[in-house]
Amino acid sequence: MSSTANSAEPKAVSIWWWAFGYFMAYVPYSALTKALSDGHLGEAISGQAILPLSTFASMLAMVAFLLGTGWWRSATKRQLGRYRVPVPTRWTALSGLCGATVLTTTTLAYTIDGTSIVFMMLLLRGGMLAMAPLVDALSRRKVQLISWVATGLTLCSLLVTLVGRDESFALPLVAIIDVTAYLIAYFVRLRFMSKLAKSDDVEVTRRYFVEEQLVSTPAAFLALGLLALIGGPFADIRAGFTEVPFSAQALWPPLIGVLSQGTGIFGALVLLDKSENTFSVPVNRASSLLAGVVATLTLYALGVSRPLDWREGVGAALVISAIVVLSVPGMLKARKAS
């Protein structure tokens, strides 16, 4: 009886597989977002105007993923008439709202004039890396020495990239607001994950993931709809609903949205790994930073972007070093097992 039950339990997937999926989705997502907003795919579309179609596509991709994998069955169920439907709890709903904030601020970050993909990524990722040990301390989670080393290497990549850059001290106001909202949302989200989801029980982790996904993209799309009705400073968001779907670039935002949802799925699964945040956050951040470097080099090879700054190259090398450091325990364990 027990052996049958155990065989039916979902098995944990290595954090590195999720990180690989995150990287593979992030490269085209960040490259296409930057190219579209800079006018390299036809008429330029602002970041705000990209969001409505991309977020709607993200929502559809989320539904397709949950149905296709069958993971929706892990969510908390409530009786609605004759049917039991999946619903979030209060805490997963709040985490989902934070996820909605992350979704929109990330896309906007790559469309801000005067900033590069890698530079904005380093601001977003560096801030998150700095908060990871704090979240672990508040959650009373033990941190491995190797996690501290990787966090230090990844933070050094941020510092190296900022050396001698005028723009590091003269960010546009919209960039400051974007980064601040992103980091606050992630701090709250990591606290909830640490308390409620990081577990040896795969089903507990999966339930949290599914319930958060049920809220994040629908909430983001609803918020965009409300802002579009307001208009004024959100006129570009309104254009994203009323003009972009009928433009020659109408297919690009949905593709960006699907890729964005891919980063959201794989990125969340990396963060939900049972390891401490000072381990899982550097894995997550290093994957996206490396993807940003590849995206920048790809755009440069296509002749639509500037070359990689030498500081960004050194920062990327430090990120790769962090990935190597984090992978050592797994490699040693596999060698010992073999």
Domain ranges of the chain: 14-331
Whether 264 contacts 104, CB under 8 Å: no
Contact of 197 with 94, CB cutoff 8 Å: no
pLDDT 10s digits, 50-81: 999 999 999 999 999 999 999 999 999 888 88
Nearest to 106, CA basis, from 63, 54, 146 = 54
Q: CA 133, 135, 141, 143: dihedral to nearest 10 degrees?
A: -10
Name residue 160's amino acid. Answer: V
Q: How many CB atoms lie within 10 A of CB 103?
A: 25
Separation CA 276–CA 136 (nearest Å): 7
Phi, psi of 108 (to 5 degrees): -65, -35
How far apart are alpha carbons 44 and 49 in whole angstroms?
10
Q: Which residues pair with 77 in a beta bridge?
A: 86
Tens digits of pLDDT across the chain (338 residues): 444 444 455 667 888 899 999 999 999 998 998 889 888 888 889 888 999 999 999 999 999 999 999 999 999 988 888 888 888 999 999 999 998 898 888 777 767 776 766 677 777 877 777 788 888 888 777 777 777 887 788 778 777 766 665 544 566 788 888 888 999 998 999 889 888 888 788 888 999 999 999 999 999 999 899 989 988 878 899 999 999 999 998 999 999 999 999 998 999 999 898 888 888 888 887 888 788 888 888 888 888 777 777 777 787 788 778 777 777 766 666 566 65
CA distance 295 to 91: 35
The dihedral built from the CA positions of residue 34, 40, 41 and 44, taken in this order, carries a sign that is positive
Measure the CA–CA gap between 123 and 182, rounded to whole angstroms. 10
The letter for the amino acid at 18 is: W
Instruction: State the angle between helix axes of 117-139 and 173-196 in degrees (0 to 180), rounded to the nearest 10.
Output: 30
Helix axes 202-230, 252-271, angle to 10 degrees: 140
Quote the CA–CA distance of 49 and 108 in Å, as a whole number: 10
The pLDDT tens digits for 266-278 are 999 998 988 888 8
